[in-house]
Amino acid sequence: MQKVNRKTEAKLVIATMFVVVCWAYSPIGIHLGLASYSPGQLALLRFIIASIFMGIVAIYQGVQVPKVKDIPLLFVLGFFAVALHHIALNFGQRGVSAGAASVLAQSTPIFTVIISRCVLKERINLWRWCCVFCGMIGALIVVIGDKGIGNISLNGLLILVAACSWSVYFILQKRYSQSYSTLTMVCYTVWTGTVVLLVFSPGLLDSMQASNFQVNFAVVILGIFPSALAYVAWAYVLSHTEVSKISIVLYLIPPTSMVIASFVLGELPSVLVVLGGGIVILSVLAMSLERVFRHNVFVKR
């Protein structure tokens, strides 16, 4: 990890908190957008805005030109990270509160472990399997506690599909995309994902005209901040610090999202949602801190 001065440290703190707030707003923005748009239209409009913004960033910052052989991979990344992830997320949020959705979306590392074992045949130790089991129990509690056991639907499962989709994207990006910078990968993932989402373009203009200013403003914010600026800020943070250390801060997203939802949407999470969310976050956190724990035990021995 490279050393940074106090001025840079201050910028990193501001950038990191900015990312947390932006991504915490995402489920709130989705909830507001679904009032006027279908799940597919909302995803498309959000990423049209993000694509335009990332295009402006690319002009000023510069991105690498992809190799022809990598173009199919970029479309696969765009499909999982943008198209499938956000379609599942939007459909799921029609029956899940913003706070509960933010918790379930943080289960991505749990699915990363499962996919790594089942598809990539990687060896997973007992510690990680225990974290996965606890995380899934926590997710189940969130799904049950959000609307009550008598109103359980498949919406919560769709949020988990979105988290699983993001896991696939993370694994593919990590294994096959080392030749491009973070900003380049973000740009092409957003752009290719937007192209895939064009299948939902019929009727989009009519929905935009029928929607009110408040909803359209919420969608614009959704497209610029969580879908574009936050990724640029996160790329800046990752270029100055270690991923394993700074990623722990992202576990502040669910509680931050719940606070924002309570003010903007008037949502108050149930005790079960808070309990289940705590289990999910602690499970993922324990998984992330495994190396630190094992290193400390090894050093003491």
Task: List the one residue out of 13, 39, 1 whose CA is nearest residue 219.
Answer: 39
Task: Name which residue leads in pLDDT, 284 or 163.
Answer: 163
For 149, the token pair is 């056991």
Alpha helices in 62-107 (DSSP H): 71-78, 85-92, 98-105
Residue 87 lies in a domain: yes
**Has residue 190 got a pLDDT over 90?**
yes
Burial 43-78, CB ≥16 within 10 A → b, else e: bbbbbbbbbebbeebbeeeebeebeeeeeebbbbbb
Residue 42 lies in a domain: yes
Q: What 3-state DSSP class applies to 211?
A: coil
For 72, the token pair is 């199919």
Give the global pTM. 0.81
Give the model confidence (pLDDT) of 100-158 as tens digits: 887 777 776 676 666 666 665 666 677 777 777 777 787 777 777 666 544 556 777 88
What is the domain range of residue 153?
6-300
pLDDT on residue 119: 61
pLDDT on residue 299: 38
Task: Name which residue leads in pLDDT, 217 or 254.
Answer: 217
For 68, the token pair is 């022809």
Give the model confidence (pLDDT) of 199-217 as tens digits: 999 999 999 999 999 999 9
CA distance 121 to 115: 8
Overall number of domains in the chain? 1
Residue 1 lies in a domain: no
Residue 289 lies in a domain: yes
The rounded mean pLDDT for the chain is 80
CA distance 166 to 84: 9
* CA 85 and chain centroid, separation: 9
CA distance 135 to 120: 21
Residue 168 lies in a domain: yes
